[in-house]
Amino acid sequence: MAEIKIDTILLSIFQRAFKSITDEMSISLTKTTRSPILCEAKDFVTGLYDAEGNMLEQTENLPILSFSLGPVCKVIIKQYGDQIFQGDVIIHNDVFSMGNQNNDVAIFKPIFVDGKLMGWSAAKGHQADIGGAVQGGYNPNATEVWQEALRIPAVKIYEKGVLRQDVWNLIFANIRLTMVSEDIKAQIGACSLGERRLTKFITKYGIACFEAHKKELFLSTEKMMRAEIAKVPNGIYEGGSKVYYDGKHPGSVFDIKSKITVNDENIIFDFSNTSPQTNGFVNGAFTSSCSAITLTFLQMVNPHIPHNEGMIKPLVYIIPEGSILNASYPKATTFGNHLCPQIADSIFKALGPAMPDRVTAGWNHLLCSLFTGKHPVKGEKYVDICFMGLKGGSGALMGDDGYDHIGMIDASGGLLDQDYEMYEQQTPHHIIHHEYLTDSGGVGTWRGGLGVETIIKLGGENTTMVVFGDGDVEKNYGLFGGKGSVLNSIELTYPDGKKYKALSKDLIDGIPEGTIYRQVAGGGGGYGNPKERDHANVQDDVRNEKVSEKQAFQEYGVAFKQGSFEIDTNQTVMLRSK
């Protein structure tokens, strides 16, 4: 067989075509799912992989999911061997076989061309329920995986195009909401779309051309990533952060410690000195922790690097089993995705001195509430993750303010707000207030992104609220003279006037109708000395109520003439000279 000559133009077409297919899969999934978690918040990822499970391309609506499909695909290939057939559909969520979170359920579909396995299409999304002791899947009281969810190691729900009704019935008999089975059907549909598109593409160019250009695409992408690593000065860099409260032991604190070794074009992320696993649900799975490391580092390199196997090949992860970032079987791990902010903090703090123009100050840590109950009008069960309330600000970086109301770093802007009208149709709750919170961005030469204040009147009877997250003990950090933001908080005011401040891992039953829910999601940390912030930027912030006149005066050293937004130049000069 003649050797295939690599066409550089065609190489670019391959990369763009793969991306176009995963984008189309994503659009399909958005339009066909029923849960607001998927169709509004877009808490899912779609991807294409080659016959060996290597990433061809992905559409990463939620970055923490982005690097969780390839490892599972390789598990499936090893498990089934030569028993993979055209028309198969495989479902998986098991964190102890390379899954990242129990609620994040993946669908895989093999792609054959001329009878030969050429690749896989896949979609993974956060399901509204996945069995276990608590509706919605987050159980702060869990110590074992069985108390959290139905475990689904890789299993065929279609074989050779035929539905395995017994397997289907077994899975969905253990899940509370019929919505979930419909959303899984939508994921299967998205994978079928990816299968059709990739089959047509390979048929057009031929198998030999596809294989040759795929390998070259991996090599060229790897070279791009190694060139980015080479820009980091050689050395060993260390950083750390803390996780507060595991849901079982009040006052408990855990360390996330990174040691990053850079040697020319190679980089190793070593978390060996991180705290041991907890006896609560605040543990990570290996895959979720690797995803967190990867998405954090990607924020510091060329954003135009294609997202395929070549991109991640130079990255080496050391995360010992039995640590809080790689819990051993059968520990509870539902919280694992949400250890990403602490992982990111440790990496930014480690690499900050080496690449100060590439790191950000601290992002707001997630503090989330999940409501479950029965809708009094519809008479149906509902699950709601209050996405709009949890989205704080991102950290500032050299030359730019942080993003306002962007959400946690593991979403990196991919997690969308719920539409207000749709929210009030789908839940029994009423939104009273949802606004940027003045002074919530950490002060600095470049200001941290703003957080938000959310106030909701809860409807429904005997509502249950699960709270999970962090950021209520220690506010995030600023860099190079910048300061941190405000603390996260969630407070309930009952109809009788009684108040309850939720813990960062909490489960509150029997919440009566008419209870007022108030949440503060903090902003991001500031970067650089606040007294060096441009006067005009402070003036704009005060005019737009992002910064109060008091904060402008005390932190930024900018004074205003009484009753106006005009800067008092003389007083400002005096303040800034102190």
- 402-454 pLDDT, tens digit per residue, is 999 998 887 676 677 788 998 998 899 999 999 999 999 999 999 999 999 99
Q: How far, CA to CA in Å, does 331 sit from each of 9, 317, 338?
A: 49, 21, 16
Contacts of 170 (CB under 8 A, 6+ apart): none
Contact in structure between 471 and 350 (CB atoms under 8 Å): no
Query: In 140-150, which positions are buried (b, 16+ CB within 10 angstroms) versus exposed (e)?
Result: bbbbebebbbb
Contacts of 492 (CB under 8 A, 6+ apart): 465, 499, 500, 502, 508, 511, 515, 516, 517, 518
* 126 beta partners: 104
CA dist., res. 441 & res. 526, Å (int): 7
pLDDT at 465: 95
Contact in structure between 217 and 308 (CB atoms under 8 Å): yes
* pLDDT tens readout for residues 486-516: 999 999 999 999 999 999 999 999 999 999 9
Q: Is the pLDDT of residue 1 over 60?
A: no
User: Which DSSP string do the residues of 58-83 spell out, in sequence order?
Assistant: EEESSGGGTTSHHHHHHHHHHHHTT-
What is the phi-psi region of residue 523: left when phi exceeds 0, alpha when psi lies from -120 to 50, beta otherwise?
A: beta
Domain limits, the chain: 8-223, 361-533
CA dist., res. 485 & res. 469, Å (int): 16
pLDDT at 118: 98
Mean pLDDT is lowest, of 29-43, 159-173, 269-283, 303-317, for 29-43
Top pLDDT among 570 and 109 is at 109
Tell me what percent of the residues of the chain surpass a pLDDT of 90: 84
Of 29-38, 220-229, 550-559, highest mean pLDDT:
220-229
Q: Is the pLDDT of residue 311 over 70?
A: yes
* pLDDT tens readout for residues 229-251: 999 999 999 999 999 999 989 99
Rounded average pLDDT over 74-78: 98
Both tokens of residue 458? 């809860």
Distance of alpha carbon 161 from the chain centroid: 33
Q: Residue 278: CA atoms inside 13 Å, Cβ hemisphere, count?
A: 31
pLDDT at 506: 95
pLDDT at 222: 98
Nearest CA among 334, 402, 391, 347 for reference residue 367: 391
Rounded average pLDDT over 528-537: 95
Q: Is the pLDDT of residue 273 over 70?
A: yes
CA dist., res. 90 & res. 124, Å (int): 12
Both tokens of residue 425? 């149709």
CA dist., res. 283 & res. 277, Å (int): 6
Q: Is the pLDDT of residue 458 over 60?
A: yes
pLDDT at 414: 67
pLDDT at 426: 87
For residue 168, the one-letter residue type is: W
* pLDDT tens readout for residues 326-376: 999 999 999 988 999 999 999 999 999 999 999 999 999 999 999 998 888
Placement of tokens 């074989």 in the chain: 159
pLDDT at 40: 86
Nearest CA among 75, 25, 18 for reference residue 52: 75
Confidence class of residue 111 from pLDDT cuts 50, 70 and 90? very high
Model confidence pTM above 0.85: yes
pLDDT at 413: 66
Confidence class of residue 2 from pLDDT cuts 50, 70 and 90? low
pLDDT at 294: 94
Mean pLDDT is lowest, of 49-58, 83-92, 310-319, 334-343, for 334-343
Other beta carbons less than 10 A from residue 212's beta carbon: 19
